[in-house]
Structure 1
């Protein structure tokens, strides 16, 4: 069963500040200290996550899958999956990425998609899709979700709960833009390579 938005906000408050009192200070906030301690504990699980990513590579042979767990930057382990696509440097090319995140704050996960349009190497447009995956990516998203559920026993965070605004400062996100999604998974869902 998915915890309520109120329960998840209570968890998030342990790790993210409700103000910017420590933003320009040398010493860490109590939330920072708890977050760093939790990551120090969770780092022991990195080899297991690496094995999980290798399993996904085998389950998705028409894609490239990579570990995306940038340490303290995100409160989650992440995997990014790139469907193989042909490239034409003369026309705009749409490239999709499917990202899966396993929160370290609660037994929850999410899968979202990022669409980028390039002309050659120049990024022309980028858009994040937090809701259901586009039809052509649904099998990939479902495979990631099934594997996270099977390997970690995590539950998908429903979109309506993920989009709950929270009065917290999460990395560069600040109220009123901050959502539970940012506090539990990543403050920059489109910032994946």
Structure 2
């Protein structure tokens, strides 16, 4: 099922406030949007076995890679990471493939995160929705194919993902907030 930009913004606005007052504030009740997201997570967590089975299928289809769960609440998605196995030498700059399945809309995203290892510290370098680098193309294609087969979701086009939205998503606020942040995570580069 394909959703229009307007439909996706409407859906996201049910879970993220359009003003700063809708955000969490100490000593006060949470916003109606935050309450809806929390209730949705309560529902989705009951089906976590489906996500774990999906990760197991990825492991079977991607030998030579380490696959992990990167899901974190209050993000609006289940998220997985695919790393090259540590047994082989890695370049100074390398990529990780991330797959996200939204819990608020029938869409998913796959992107790459490039980072540099410096003395036991990872330094973020770039994020990429195009996924044309040879080392990330195959795992990205496998993730996309498996998400579509397992969940029946549609891939969110890059142009829509990068569209600014008037919503406050955790630490992102307009004009920096994008539809990607609202449907998935406000920290796409923050991976384990």
Q: TM-score range by the shorter chain?
A: over 0.9
Q: Which runs of 5+ in 2 are unaligned?
A: none
**Alignment CA distance shift 1:153-1:136 (3 Å):** same
Contact 2:95 2:135 survives alignment (8 Å): no
Structural mapping, 1:14-163, within 5 Å: 14-21=14-21, 22-25=23-26, 26-70=28-72, 72-85=73-86, 86-87=88-89, 93-163=92-162
Q: Which runs of 4+ in 1 moved over 4 A?
A: none
Name the SS of the counterpart of 2:29 in structure 1.
coil
Name the SS of the counterpart of 1:128 in structure 2.
strand
Name the SS of the counterpart of 1:111 in structure 2.
strand
Task: Tell me whether 1:4 sits opposite 2:1 in the alignment.
Answer: no
How far 1:125 moved relative to its partner? 4.4
How far 1:24 moved relative to its partner? 2.2
Q: Which runs of 5+ in 1 are unaligned?
A: none
How far 1:12 moved relative to its partner? 0.5
- For 1:5 and 1:20, locate their aligned partners in 2 and report how far apart those are by CA, in whole Å: 23
Once the two structures are superposed, residues 133-189 of structure 1 have per-residue CA deviations (whole angstroms, 9 ceiling, x without a partner) of 423211110000000000110110011111111000001111000000000011111
- For 1:19 and 1:58, locate their aligned partners in 2 and report how far apart those are by CA, in whole Å: 44
Name the SS of the counterpart of 1:114 in structure 2.
strand
- For 1:12 and 1:119, locate their aligned partners in 2 and report how far apart those are by CA, in whole Å: 37
**Alignment CA distance shift 1:138-1:40 (3 Å):** same
- For 2:6 and 2:29, locate their aligned partners in 1 and report how far apart those are by CA, in whole Å: 29
Name the SS of the counterpart of 1:168 in structure 2.
coil
**Alignment CA distance shift 1:36-1:133 (3 Å):** farther
Name the SS of the counterpart of 1:53 in structure 2.
helix
Contact 2:38 2:74 survives alignment (8 Å): no
Contact 1:126 1:190 survives alignment (8 Å): no
How far 1:20 moved relative to its partner? 1.1
The number of aligned residues is 189
How far 1:23 moved relative to its partner? 3.5
How far 1:127 moved relative to its partner? 1.6
Once the two structures are superposed, residues 55-96 of structure 1 have per-residue CA deviations (whole angstroms, 9 ceiling, x without a partner) of 1011000100011211x23101111000125347xxx72232
